[in-house]
Protein backbone atom coordinates (compact mmCIF):
# COMPACT_ATOMS: atom_id res chain seq x y z
CA UNK A 1 0.00 0.00 0.00
CA UNK A 2 2.76 2.56 0.75
CA UNK A 3 4.27 2.00 -2.73
CA UNK A 4 0.94 2.91 -4.34
CA UNK A 5 0.66 6.10 -2.29
CA UNK A 6 4.28 6.95 -3.07
CA UNK A 7 3.72 6.48 -6.82
CA UNK A 8 0.52 8.49 -6.66
CA UNK A 9 2.34 11.34 -4.89
CA UNK A 10 5.14 11.23 -7.44
CA UNK A 11 2.64 11.34 -10.30
CA UNK A 12 0.83 14.26 -8.68
CA UNK A 13 4.08 16.20 -8.30
CA UNK A 14 5.00 15.46 -11.93
CA UNK A 15 1.59 16.61 -13.21
CA UNK A 16 1.75 19.77 -11.09
CA UNK A 17 5.24 20.53 -12.41
CA UNK A 18 4.19 19.99 -16.03
CA UNK A 19 1.15 22.24 -15.57
CA UNK A 20 3.49 24.94 -14.31
CA UNK A 21 5.73 24.57 -17.35
CA UNK A 22 2.78 24.65 -19.72
CA UNK A 23 1.27 27.77 -18.13
CA UNK A 24 4.56 29.72 -18.10
CA UNK A 25 5.56 28.79 -21.66
CA UNK A 26 3.30 31.43 -23.29
CA UNK A 27 4.78 34.13 -21.06
CA UNK A 28 8.29 33.18 -22.18
CA UNK A 29 7.21 33.17 -25.82
CA UNK A 30 6.02 36.79 -25.56
CA UNK A 31 9.62 38.02 -25.48
CA UNK A 32 11.95 39.85 -23.21
CA UNK A 33 11.99 43.39 -21.93
CA UNK A 34 15.14 44.98 -23.34
CA UNK A 35 16.32 48.19 -21.64
CA UNK A 36 19.20 50.25 -23.01
CA UNK A 37 20.71 53.51 -21.73
CA UNK A 38 22.75 55.50 -24.24
CA UNK A 39 25.24 58.07 -22.94
CA UNK A 40 25.77 61.41 -24.73
CA UNK A 41 28.22 63.92 -23.24
CA UNK A 42 29.66 65.62 -26.32
CA UNK A 43 28.37 68.56 -28.32
CA UNK A 44 28.89 66.66 -31.54
CA UNK A 45 26.21 66.16 -34.20
CA UNK A 46 28.01 63.08 -35.55
CA UNK A 47 28.09 61.42 -32.09
CA UNK A 48 24.45 62.29 -31.44
CA UNK A 49 23.42 60.85 -34.79
CA UNK A 50 25.39 57.73 -33.91
CA UNK A 51 23.49 57.52 -30.60
CA UNK A 52 20.19 57.94 -32.47
CA UNK A 53 21.27 55.28 -35.00
CA UNK A 54 22.12 52.94 -32.11
CA UNK A 55 18.70 53.59 -30.58
CA UNK A 56 16.92 52.92 -33.88
CA UNK A 57 18.91 49.75 -34.56
CA UNK A 58 18.36 48.32 -31.07
CA UNK A 59 14.66 49.16 -31.23
CA UNK A 60 14.20 47.64 -34.69
CA UNK A 61 16.14 44.46 -33.94
CA UNK A 62 14.44 43.58 -30.67
CA UNK A 63 10.95 44.68 -31.78
CA UNK A 64 11.28 42.29 -34.76
CA UNK A 65 11.85 39.47 -32.25
CA UNK A 66 8.69 40.37 -30.32
CA UNK A 67 10.53 41.95 -27.40
CA UNK A 68 9.47 45.06 -25.49
CA UNK A 69 12.13 47.75 -25.92
CA UNK A 70 12.97 50.79 -23.80
CA UNK A 71 15.79 53.05 -24.91
CA UNK A 72 16.79 56.13 -22.92
CA UNK A 73 19.31 58.60 -24.24
CA UNK A 74 20.90 60.47 -21.34
CA UNK A 75 22.61 63.79 -22.15
CA UNK A 76 24.80 65.83 -19.83
CA UNK A 77 27.73 68.21 -20.00
CA UNK A 78 28.27 69.53 -23.54
CA UNK A 79 25.98 66.72 -24.78
CA UNK A 80 23.00 68.63 -23.40
CA UNK A 81 23.19 70.85 -26.50
CA UNK A 82 21.68 67.91 -28.39
CA UNK A 83 18.50 68.30 -26.29
CA UNK A 84 18.34 72.11 -26.24
CA UNK A 85 15.65 73.78 -28.34
CA UNK A 86 18.03 76.53 -29.46
CA UNK A 87 21.16 74.50 -30.25
CA UNK A 88 20.13 70.95 -31.16
CA UNK A 89 21.14 70.07 -34.72
CA UNK A 90 19.05 66.88 -34.46
CA UNK A 91 15.81 68.17 -32.93
CA UNK A 92 13.70 67.25 -35.98
CA UNK A 93 15.06 63.71 -36.00
CA UNK A 94 14.44 63.39 -32.25
CA UNK A 95 10.83 64.55 -32.66
CA UNK A 96 10.24 62.06 -35.49
CA UNK A 97 11.83 59.14 -33.65
CA UNK A 98 9.92 59.88 -30.45
CA UNK A 99 6.66 59.61 -32.38
CA UNK A 100 7.66 56.38 -34.13
CA UNK A 101 9.19 54.43 -31.24
CA UNK A 102 7.34 53.47 -28.08
CA UNK A 103 9.75 53.29 -25.20
CA UNK A 104 12.22 55.85 -26.55
CA UNK A 105 12.96 58.58 -24.02
CA UNK A 106 15.47 61.36 -23.50
CA UNK A 107 16.89 62.49 -20.16
CA UNK A 108 18.43 65.95 -19.76
CA UNK A 109 20.84 66.55 -16.87
CA UNK A 110 19.42 69.09 -14.42
CA UNK A 111 22.88 70.02 -13.13
CA UNK A 112 24.13 70.87 -16.61
CA UNK A 113 20.88 72.66 -17.42
CA UNK A 114 21.22 74.86 -14.35
CA UNK A 115 24.83 75.78 -15.22
CA UNK A 116 23.95 76.51 -18.86
CA UNK A 117 20.98 78.64 -17.77
CA UNK A 118 23.16 80.61 -15.33
CA UNK A 119 25.76 81.21 -18.02
CA UNK A 120 23.08 82.32 -20.52
CA UNK A 121 21.36 84.45 -17.81
CA UNK A 122 18.04 82.90 -18.85
CA UNK A 123 16.29 79.56 -18.64
CA UNK A 124 17.60 77.34 -21.41
CA UNK A 125 14.68 75.48 -23.00
CA UNK A 126 15.02 71.76 -23.63
CA UNK A 127 13.14 69.76 -26.23
CA UNK A 128 9.61 68.66 -25.36
CA UNK A 129 10.69 65.04 -25.85
CA UNK A 130 13.25 65.31 -23.04
CA UNK A 131 12.61 64.83 -19.34
CA UNK A 132 14.77 66.71 -16.85
CA UNK A 133 16.57 64.48 -14.33
CA UNK A 134 18.58 65.66 -11.35
CA UNK A 135 21.95 64.47 -12.66
CA UNK A 136 22.75 62.69 -15.91
CA UNK A 137 25.54 60.58 -14.46
CA UNK A 138 23.31 59.48 -11.58
CA UNK A 139 20.54 58.64 -14.06
CA UNK A 140 22.95 56.35 -15.93
CA UNK A 141 24.07 54.72 -12.69
CA UNK A 142 20.49 54.18 -11.49
CA UNK A 143 19.46 52.65 -14.81
CA UNK A 144 22.43 50.26 -14.73
CA UNK A 145 21.58 49.23 -11.17
CA UNK A 146 18.07 48.42 -12.44
CA UNK A 147 19.48 46.13 -15.12
CA UNK A 148 19.64 48.48 -18.10
CA UNK A 149 22.41 47.86 -20.62
CA UNK A 150 24.82 50.81 -21.02
CA UNK A 151 26.06 52.00 -24.41
CA UNK A 152 28.38 54.88 -25.22
CA UNK A 153 28.62 55.60 -28.94
pLDDT one-digit tens code per residue, 42-54:
999 999 999 999 9
Q: What is the reported pLDDT for 31?
A: 87
Are 26 and 36 within one domain? no
Q: Which domain covers residue 39, as residue numbers?
A: 31-151
What confidence tier does 15 reach under pLDDT thresholds 50, 70, 90? very low
Q: What is the reported pLDDT for 74?
A: 98
Tally of domains within the chain: 2
Are 79 and 122 within one domain? yes
Q: Which helix (DSSP H) or strand (DSSP E) does residue 47 occupy?
A: helix 45-64
**126, burial (CB in 10 Å: exposed 0-12, middle 13-18, buried 19+):** buried
Q: What is the reported pLDDT for 1?
A: 52
Are 51 and 102 within one domain? yes
Average pLDDT over residues 12-21: 45
CATH of the domain at 116: 3.40.1260.10
Are 98 and 116 within one domain? yes
Are 22 and 92 within one domain? no
Q: Does residue 152 or residue 10 have the better pLDDT?
A: 152
What confidence tier does 41 reach under pLDDT thresholds 50, 70, 90? very high
Are 2 and 20 within one domain? yes
Are 51 and 99 within one domain? yes
Are 24 and 37 within one domain? no
Average pLDDT over residues 24-47: 82
Q: Do the beta carbons of residue 107 and residue 73 sit within 8 Å?
A: yes
Q: What is the reported pLDDT for 60?
A: 96
Are 21 and 83 within one domain? no
Q: What is the reported pLDDT for 147?
A: 97
pLDDT at 18 over 60: no
Are 37 and 24 within one domain? no
Rounded alpha-carbon distances, angstroms, from residue 127 to 52, 81, 101: 15, 10, 17
Are 38 and 14 within one domain? no
Beta strands in 27-67 (DSSP E): 33-40
Q: Residue 41: how many CB atoms within 10 A of its CB? A: 20
Which residues, including other chains, have CB under 8 Å from residue 135's CB and lie 6 or more apart? 76, 109, 110, 111
Average pLDDT over residues 105-126: 98
pLDDT at 89 over 50: yes
pLDDT at 23 over 70: no
pTM of the model: 0.80
Amino acid sequence: MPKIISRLMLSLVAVTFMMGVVTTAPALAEGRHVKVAIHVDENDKFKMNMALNNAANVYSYYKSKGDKVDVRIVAYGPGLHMLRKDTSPVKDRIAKMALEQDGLSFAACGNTHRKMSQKAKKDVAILDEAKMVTAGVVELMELQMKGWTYIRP
